[in-house]
Chains A and B, each alone.
Chain A
Amino acid sequence: MAATRIGSLLHALGLLIVLAFALFPFYWMVTSSLKDQTELLASPPVWFFHPTLSNYMDIFADTKVTTAVLNSLIVAVSTTLLSVILGTPAAYALARFEFRGKADLWFWFISNRMISPIVLALPVYLLSRQVGLLNTRLVLVLIYLTFNLPIVVWICTDQFRSIPPDLEQSARLEGASQFDIFWRIYLPLGLPGVAVSAIFAFIFSWNELLYALVLITSQGLKTAPVVATNFMSGYELPWGKIMATGTVIVLPVTVFAMLVSRHMIRGLTMGATK
């Protein structure tokens, strides 16, 4: 009895430590965004302070930040939608059909993610300049798509494989077309996998800094992470504004993840067979 109580106490303590480790940076970012510059730079750090929204007023007064958030939203949402629209049929094909070169295709998807993005930065820059895509949102969507598609395809293939093949055959006997089977059976039953991969795609596209920095130079098209780093120039480091921008950037991802997470329930296929 006592042993189990101590055990569960230790368990809770361990969880608390992990939680603190994960959440502290987030906490520091949000609280810092609510401090003024003197409190921010105080040493030792100030734990109790008068919160102020002045940093937020500053960044929202600056149209750079709002435009950048809008740009990020456009790029991330289109990338996520395209990844899911293109990735799920591919995953269905890989999960359920046998065709020549299937293993090679699979490996090609994996190998896409083996290359460090920075290795490709220069060739991608030169290519996009050549085709006139430099300084467009489209080029970011296309590049992010190449990174996101493999994730969507892997996760969804695995998810679709777990759906009993009897369901597909039964639907086929009942006159469902290949598209009906995908649309009415695989997609709804594979929703947990689709949701997870959509979150990954969104977070990746939303946070990506390297390509956004290299391929976009015109101020009006810059994405949020780029604008946040733009504050770190010249002789001043406006920590409050950087932290406020950071908080604003994190918000949409959190909301999106919360919206989608209710679809990530396991056991949705329970009751299909047996």
Chain B
Amino acid sequence: MSFLKLDKVVKRYGSIPVIHGVSLEAKKGEFVVFVGPSGCGKSTLLRMIAGLEEISAGDVSIDGRVVTSVAPADREVSMVFQSYALYPHMSVFDNIAFGLKMAKMPADQIIGRVDEAASILQIGPLLSRKPRQLSGGQRQRVAIGRAIVRHPKLFLFDEPLSNLDAELRAQMRVEIARLHRNLGVTMVYVTHDQVEAMTLADRIVVLRAGQIEQVGSPSTLYDEPANRFVAGFIGSPKMNFIEARIGAVADNAITLSHPAFVGGTLTVERAPLRPVSPGAPVTVGLRPDNLTIGSPNPILNLTADFSENLGGHTQIYATATDAPQIAILANGRRAIVRGATLPVGLASGRVYLFDADGIAM
């Protein structure tokens, strides 16, 4: 039984549609992440669930109740804003208690609830401070405290970590994951950072231009991207793409041709998902972390360009005839001589193929 359900949800600004009939279901306790490039409509979709944006067509239901025309406060959802949206003139206690006061909860119960939230987030000593006296990470905790104190049915996060520095972001990411585990509440989380999406999500929803590109678990999206967009968006460093042509098709193998391949061809030993004809254009996708240098069975002949030392890994950029720059993530430290020939093999994973429309094949 689905807990959160979006049914052909549409958002138009005037006559311009920005969300094109999105349908989605989430189970109770699930952590769903909306991810996509800026302007893809992920925040708009989240705000439609919250009730902060009107829904032009379609329905939203939470816990079996259609809330499309229910006021935001009555949807039993809490939201953490990208800007935190703390009330600057109120103390941390009053910030957290605001929603409970609005709900006319008795004062002693409010104190109990705030203390509970403060101990979960370890912000007890900060309760009498004003938001301007807090660091970014502390403000973030207060914003989360304000959300959990109301015991909502659904948590919404709108890029909550994007104002924090890298170290704090990683730390808060773990805390949000822990919070989800401890509270067991359904969460919808918006981010443009695919690392956050991969690490936090039970299921990722990849959005582009107001439409869902693919929904699935992080490993499904990584291993079996439905199209070229998802393949390029999920995974860091980004997947390499080579525009090749189909040479020959057998029952259980496809031969691809491109000058970058060793001998001009590459044979992928699997049947295509759909019938293909020789000569058709095909995009070959190779993940940088699947590639290896100095392989006994190289598939690519590349020319080294430059390298970045990442400590435990080295990211190597190389070029080939008629191909864009190709990235390789190698283990350990590698000294690369610019202009040297690099025989590159496929150590693990697979060769991804996409047709002219970008659909996986």
Residues A273 and B73 in contact, CB atoms below 8 Å apart: no
Answer whether residue A123 sits at the interface, using C-beta atoms and an 8 A cutoff.
no
- Among the 9-residue stretches A25-33, A95-103, A145-153, A264-272, the one with 4 or more Cβ atoms under 8 Å from chain B is A264-272
Q: Is B157 located at the chain interface by the 8 A CB criterion?
A: no
Q: Are A174 and B83 in contact (CB under 8 A)?
A: no
Which of chain A's residues have a CB closer than 8 A to the CB of B163?
A: 274
A194-220, CB < 8 A from B: none
Total chain B interface residues with beta-carbon distance under 8 A: 32
Task: Provide the residues of chain B in CB contact with A254, threshold 8 Å.
Answer: none
> Residue A63 at the B interface, CB < 8 A?
no
**Please, how many angstroms separate the alpha-carbon atoms of A184 and B110 in the complex?**
18
Bound together, the chains give a CA A166 to CA B158 distance in angstroms of 11
Are A180 and B102 in contact, CB atoms less than 8 angstroms apart?
A: yes
Chain B residues whose CB sits within 8 angstroms of the CB of A184 once the complex forms: 87
Encode B106-142 as 1/0 by CB contact (under 8 A) with A. Answer: 0000000000000000000000001111101001000
Chain A 246-274 near chain B by CB (<8 Å), digits 1 or 0? 00000000000000000000001111111
Residue pair B85, A271 in contact (C-beta under 8 Å): no
Q: Is the CB of B87 within 8 A of A174?
A: no
Closest to B103 in A: A175
> Which residues of B pack against A, CB within 8 Å?
50-52, 72-74, 77-79, 81-89, 98-99, 102-103, 130-134, 136, 139, 146, 150, 163
Neighbouring A residues of B73 by C-beta, 8 Å: 172-176
Chain B residues positioned under 8 Å from A164 (CB to CB): 83, 85
B85 and A273 form a contact (CB under 8 A): yes
**With A170-B79, A172-B73 known to touch, is A271 a contact of B102 (CB < 8 Å)?**
no
**Partner pick for A274 among B74, B83, B99, CB 8 A cutoff:** B83
Decide: A172 and B72 in contact? CB cutoff 8 A. yes
Contact call B102/A176, Cβ cutoff below 8 A = yes
Q: Please, how many angstroms separate the alpha-carbon atoms of A176 and B87 in the complex?
A: 13
Residue of A nearest to B77 (CB): A173
Q: A166-B83, A173-B52, A272-B88 are in contact. List 4 more A-B contacts (CB 8 A).
A: A169-B81, A170-B79, A173-B99, A174-B73
Inter-chain CA distance A171–B88, complex, in Å, is 13
